[in-house]
Chains A and B, each alone.
Chain A
């Protein structure tokens, strides 16, 4: 029983080390670079963002429904 515990602990520890080795090898860039890219993406796409710019009532499919009068 203790043998099984010991070997499963070992397997878990091996897996953890393997995963950490992988994560340590990931290539990273500086936050300054990443932040500039995020900012540029936002600014470049801002004018196409309807929730930011607003939608003119005439184009808006969700505008309050107008009632119809029948004569």
Chain B
């Protein structure tokens, strides 16, 4: 078995020595640029007033744990998926169920709404991501039009459409992420680099270009170039699995939620962690995060059934929200930022917003 392109003098020993040197150099470079803390820069910013978040809708209907949810671009429909294989599309204003699909698998860990609002994607223990076009005819059997798009060699942990209905990005327990063409099911690009299950992914806001971030059981968050498949940046400060990653609205940073009970903010241009959202009293893992429209608030759902709301700039907690009777597994702010929805192992979803005054 031939080894490709060994430069003269390269041996296993010399390569290992070089990687040690490079790692040290990276650490030094990052340290040099760490001239101030985000909280210090934010000191002069006005403190946030008390928040008055109320649950406005409770979506009941799942017979088992809600594992994932996503908003439609119309800001009122929501798709959610559950442990018992059911995927439901809701009208969050009226709480009516508009569509229901029973997947041929349990633990549907990922679901996503297509940008057009005309289809949903979902998958889980079946190792696949399937797309269901949504029919206006309520009696039509959605399962009949189902299209299998992605095939992994382990469970599907996350999926999202890219800027159109035509491509889907998936993350899997097989340690890879992948980009697929929906129509043909063809694999367009695969992303290798995590050394364990990839648990989460998020696409960069469209203005900032073609990248996405993924988080895994290897405690790493990796940023990837969609076109080349290249891992462009890597962050490994978490002490345990990263369950969720979400881009900051400007695309210059992203937040993560981890089993180590902390959420963290990573700035992409400074190439380092710039804030950590934690408290000694918070000892359970964080499962899901999302930003408010301005990026000032970070909503995080935890395994202790609560949602903590953090001031992103000052690093302090501004509210703690109760209500769910089991783990909060999934949390998303609506596309226009007016409300956020949380899904839980208590089989329900809750939509909350902030009352004026």
Point out residues on A near B: beta carbons under 8 Å: 3-4, 6-7, 9-11, 13-14, 16-17, 19-24, 26, 28-39, 41-46, 48-57, 60-64
Contact = CB atoms under 8 A, between A and B. Distances in A.
A20 B193 CA distance: 12
B312 A34 contact: no
B12 interface: yes
A29 B313 CA distance: 18
A9 B45 CA distance: 52
A13 B16 contact: yes
Contact of B292 (A4, A17, A30, A51): A51
B25 interface: yes
A35 B38 contact: yes
Contacts of A14: 4-6, 10, 15
A20 B22 contact: yes
A45 to B, nearest CB: 4
Interface stretch (B80-88, B124-132, B209-217, B294-302): B294-302
B279 interface: no
Given A24-B25, A41-B249, A31 B270 contact: yes
Contacts, number: 195
B239 interface: no
Chain A interface SS verdict (over half) = helix
- Classify chain B: how many residues form its interface, as a range: 35 or more
A31 B12 CA distance: 36
B35 A31 contact: yes
B313 A42 contact: yes
Given A29-B33, A38-B295, A50-B353, A24 B26 contact: yes
Contacts of B340: 51
Interface in B280-304: 292-297
Contacts of B15: 10, 13-14, 16-17
Tell which of A9, A34, A60 has the most Cβ of chain B within 10 Å. Answer: A34
Tell which of B45, B267, B351 has the most Cβ of chain A within 10 Å. Answer: B267
Contacts of B6: 10, 14
A28 B295 contact: no
Interface stretch (B134-142, B182-190, B330-338): B330-338
Given A7-B1, A30-B35, A38 B297 contact: no
